[in-house]
């Protein structure tokens, strides 16, 4: 049984900034478990017997943020499962918390149970974000990789998610990464940050 609290790195940034891509790279080199809140919600949406399928579907298509209890439960279960079954204790939480409701709900439920280390912030322009998502949309099958949903996702990011990044910035927890170069270049910055953190 693990005695230490799980170590958490939040991974934030606009839609398509490259959070998932870089998390996969980090997993390969630094032994973290990658928990994408969006991926967990998309799995829950199609899980047989889920009572949240319709709700999640509606929120994702409209770029709205799912109520925190749903997302936080999925994250907490995934953390516990990885600790108990695999002895894993370092987690990248990708795409969460992305509004005040997320942050408040997380703090209520998780603050005492985990150690949040820092926030990796993937920063690039709105245009790059949209371009990457539309390009991916040609083959991703994601219901929100289209012009209509993207407009809403960007709006939600600007109005609700970016202020959360600023909140962490005020706590001096943000490590900013320029997410505009190619993925290999971005990973060099990420690698430096992770090596320095000695996690
Ligand atoms: N790509 C990646 N890096 C590149 C680079 N450096 N140069 C060129 N191309 C690059 O990358 C996106 C695309 O760009 C890929 O094709 C990639 O190859 C290429 P990816 O790594 O997938 O970027 P990521 O930031 O992960 O983009 P994603 O679309 O996953 O971000 P979102 O934050 O929009 O999506 P997420 O899955 O987190 O959330 C989706 C929705 O779920 C939300 O809008 C919301 O409705 C809901 N949600 C909640 O309600 N609550 C949550 O807590 C989380 C999600
Ligand atoms: Mg992603």
Give the pLDDT of residue 3.
Answer: 86
Give the pLDDT of residue 87.
Answer: 95
Give the residue, by CA position, lying nearest to ligand 1 atom 37: 38
State CA 2 to chain mean position distance: 24
Task: Average the pLDDT over 16-41 and give the result.
Answer: 98
Cα-to-centroid distance, 126 and ligand 1 (Å): 13
How far apart CA 181 and CA 51 sit, in angstroms, is 41
Share of the chain above pLDDT 70, in %: 99
Q: Which ligand sits nearest to residue 24's alpha carbon?
A: 1
Contacts of 89 (CB under 8 A, 6+ apart): 2, 4, 6, 7, 83
How far apart CA 64 and CA 101 sit, in angstroms, is 12
Which atom of ligand 1 is least distant from the CA of 39?
Answer: 37
Q: What is the pTM of this model?
A: 0.98
pLDDT in tens, 126-182: 999 999 999 999 999 999 999 999 999 999 999 999 999 999 999 999 999 999 999
How far apart CA 155 and CA 82 sit, in angstroms, is 34
Give the pLDDT of residue 1.
Answer: 67
């Amino acid at each position: 049984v693990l005695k230490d609290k799980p170590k958490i790195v939040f991974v934030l940034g606009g839609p398509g900034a490259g959070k998932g891509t870089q998390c996969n790279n980090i997993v390969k080199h630094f032994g973290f478990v990658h928990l994408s809140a969006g991926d967990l919600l998309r799995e829950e949406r199609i899980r047989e017997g889920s009572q949240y399928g319709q709700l999640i579907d509606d929120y994702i298509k409209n770029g709205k943020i799912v109520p925190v209890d749903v997302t936080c439960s999925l994250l907490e279960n995934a953390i516990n499962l990885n600790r108990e079954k695999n002895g894993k204790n370092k987690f990248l939480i990708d795409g969460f918390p992305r509004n005040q409701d997320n942050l408040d709900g997380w703090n209520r439920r998780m603050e005492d149970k985990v150690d949040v280390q820092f926030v990796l912030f993937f920063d690039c322009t709105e245009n790059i974000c949209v371009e990457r998502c539309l390009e991916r949309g040609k083959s991703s099958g994601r219901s929100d990789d289209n012009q209509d949903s993207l407009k809403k996702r960007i709006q939600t990011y600007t109005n609700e998610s970016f202020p959360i990044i600023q909140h962490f910035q005020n706590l001096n927890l943000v490590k900013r990464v320029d997410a505009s170069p190619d993925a290999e270049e971005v990973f060099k910055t990420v690698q430096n940050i992770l090596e320095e953190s000695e996690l």
